[in-house]
Structure formats: structure tokens, C-alpha cells
Amino acid sequence: MTELSVVVPIYNEEESLPPFLDAVLPILQEVTPDFEIIFCMDPSKDKTEDIVLAAHRADPRIKLLKFSRRFGQPGAIWGGLAYSSGQAVIVMDCDLQDPPETIPKMVRIWREGEYKVVIPQRTSRQGDNPIKRLVAYCAYWLINKTSTVDIPRNAGDFRLLDRIVVNELLKLKETNAFLKGLTGVVGYKYKLVPFARQPRVEGSGKYFPLTGGIFIGFNGVIAFSGALLRLMTIAGLALAGLAALTAIGLIVAKVSGWYVFEAGLATIGVLLVFLVGCQFVGMGILGAYIGRIYEEIKQRPIFIVEEATGFDQKLP
């Protein structure tokens, strides 16, 4: 078992990999020579694989997991956790927005023994456009207002996990590997470490900021809270009450001679459109929960490894 594993999900990152390796290797060497870097790669169309394999030949501590198809970042992270051997595991991106300079402080806090989880928390989001910042804020606000577990605001997947925490995470059977939420499910005392998020050094992000942030927020709510289902019930009762009050008001207005609409068509039309729209929203929320149940029942693997380079033995 090594002391420190670094799990890095990658996909079409040929531009980001060289500066990442140049930055992270000297820092890890200073922290501990007993480390491994596990690049977890969805099949890429550029030279990402060639760069990692060349780095492995130069330093066997650099390893590669190549998946059979694109499983996405959550599946890649889970594959890295499953194949890691470190007493502590750091999950980070390779675009240098997760600064390697934070690693020594994270490891120092972990070595002190009080905290099993160390989570860097963004104090700024340089390089993010206003839309991405707004979506991120709304996503974290929604998750924190509805989730049944503690999910720190402005904290991504960049974190250090003790081996005990990793082992407990791997016992979970959920097919939607939302690391930020599942870390809270497992529990254990954590420490927040503030850092300033920098712009990408090279390349571009692989997730569209608007849909990616919305998906993350919605996924967090669906996975860790039934709040939206309760909201449907409250909204239904509120709308039923509004409809009843509107009907009473129209009757009073008609009897009193205040009624100004012709045959009530305008009022009925507005209420009908409003209520039908609310029904469709409710059906969509209900469908999301049912879809999640359907996905969990199938119990499909989160990742499938096609090739594992640099590992002494075949792991799960």
C-alpha cells in the first residue's frame, strides 16, 4: 500500500496533461516519494493516452485506467477509487483549476489524524463566466436547502479521502456516483481548506457550463432528498386552494354585479393553462425519481476497465 494516491479523471486532455505533470510531480515528490497518480481515462480521440503511457514509462508511479466506453467523470472517479492503494486518496482535475499547491496542506492536515476528509473550498471562481457562476450558485443553494446530508458550498470533487472513507464509499451500491453527496452519506469529520480557483491553463472544459451545472444540482437533489416530491404535494394543495378561492370570488362578483369578463372565458383559460403547466412540472419531477429508481434497480456497473497500465495485479 502506498501512502498517497492521486486520482485524475481525464478525457481529451492532451493540452492540459504536460503542464499538469510538470506542476504536480515535484510537489508530490516533496510531500512523499511513496505516491501514485492514477489517470482514469474515457476513450479519447486525441493523444491523451500516448502522453500518459509515455509518462508511465518515465515514472512507473504514473498509472492509467482506460475504460471500455465513456462513463463520464463520476464513473472515472469511482474507477480510480477502486484501483487506488493509497492510505489517503486525492481526487482532482488535470486542468490546474484544482491547484497542486494545495496538496501539501491537505496531506499535513490528514497526517495530524483529526480529520478523515479534507475538502478545498473555492473562495473565487476566476475564469468562470457569469452564467456558470450563477448556475453553480443556484445548484449549491438548491442542494443545501433540500439535501439530507451535509454538502459544503463551493466545494467540488477536489478532496482528500482517508482509506477508511474510500473503503466505505466503495461499499455503496448506488449507480449514480455523486461524490460530493456520497462523502456526506459516509460521514466522518472533515476540514475545509479555502483556495482561489484559477482559470484553465490549457484546453477547454468538456462539460457545457449551463447544462452541466443544472444536471449536477438536479442530480444532487434527486439523489439525496425527497424535497421535490413534497414540494409537488404542497404546490398541488396551494393550487387547489387558489382555484377554490378564485371560484368563490367569481361567484361573489357575479352575484354582486361586479363580474366584468364575458362568460368567464378569460379566467378559465388562464387557470387552465396555469394548472396544466404545473401538472407537467409535477409529472417531470415524479418521472425523475422513477427514472432514478429504474437506474438503481438495474445495478449496471459504474465503470468497466478495458486496460489497466502500471498495476501489479488485477483489481476489481
pLDDT for 66 equals 92
- Phi-psi map region of 257: left, alpha, beta (phi>0 left; psi -120 to 50 alpha): left
Average pLDDT, the chain: 78
pLDDT range class, residue 209, cuts 50, 70, 90: very low
- As a whole number, mean pLDDT of residues 229-238 equals 66
- As a whole number, mean pLDDT of residues 17-41 equals 94
Q: Which grid cell is 202?
A: 490549457
pLDDT for 312 equals 76
Of 73-77, 146-150, 182-186, 308-312, least confident by mean pLDDT is: 146-150
Of 87-101, 219-233, 265-279, least confident by mean pLDDT is: 219-233
250/246 Cα distance (integer angstroms):
6
pLDDT for 88 equals 95
Eight-state DSSP code of residue 199: P
- Residue range 4-225+301-309 in CATH 3.90.550.10: yes
pLDDT range class, residue 179, cuts 50, 70, 90: confident
Bridge partners (DSSP) listed for residue 159? 91
pLDDT for 210 equals 45
- Asked whether the predicted pLDDT for residue 246 surpasses 60, the reply is yes
- Strands in 190-197's sheet, in edge-to-edge order, are 190-197, 117-125, 159-162, 88-91, 4-10, 35-41, 62-67, 305-309
- The length of the chain, given as a count of residues: 316
Eight-state DSSP code of residue 225: -
pLDDT range class, residue 36, cuts 50, 70, 90: very high
Residue type at 43? Answer: P
- As a whole number, mean pLDDT of residues 156-184 equals 86
Bridge partners (DSSP) listed for residue 305? 67
Q: Which grid cell is 139?
A: 445548484
Terminus-to-terminus CA distance in the chain, angstroms? Answer: 16
The 3-state DSSP class for residue 115 equals coil
Query: Is the dihedral angle over the CA atoms 207, 208, 210, 215 positive or is it negative?
Result: negative
- Asked whether the predicted pLDDT for residue 211 surpasses 70, the reply is no
- As a whole number, mean pLDDT of residues 229-236 equals 66
pTM: 0.71
- Asked whether the predicted pLDDT for residue 35 surpasses 90, the reply is yes
pLDDT for 22 equals 93
- As a whole number, mean pLDDT of residues 302-314 equals 80
Q: How far is CA 245 from CA 143, 250, 266, 282, in A?
A: 34, 9, 16, 22
30/21 Cα distance (integer angstroms):
14
* Domain map (residue ranges) of the chain: 4-225+301-309, 227-298
Share of the chain above pLDDT 70, in %: 63
10 in Cβ contact with 44 (< 8 Å): yes
- As a whole number, mean pLDDT of residues 167-191 equals 83
pLDDT range class, residue 184, cuts 50, 70, 90: confident
165/210 Cα distance (integer angstroms):
31
Model confidence pLDDT, tens digit, residues 95-145: 888 899 999 999 999 999 899 999 998 876 555 556 666 666 666 666 666
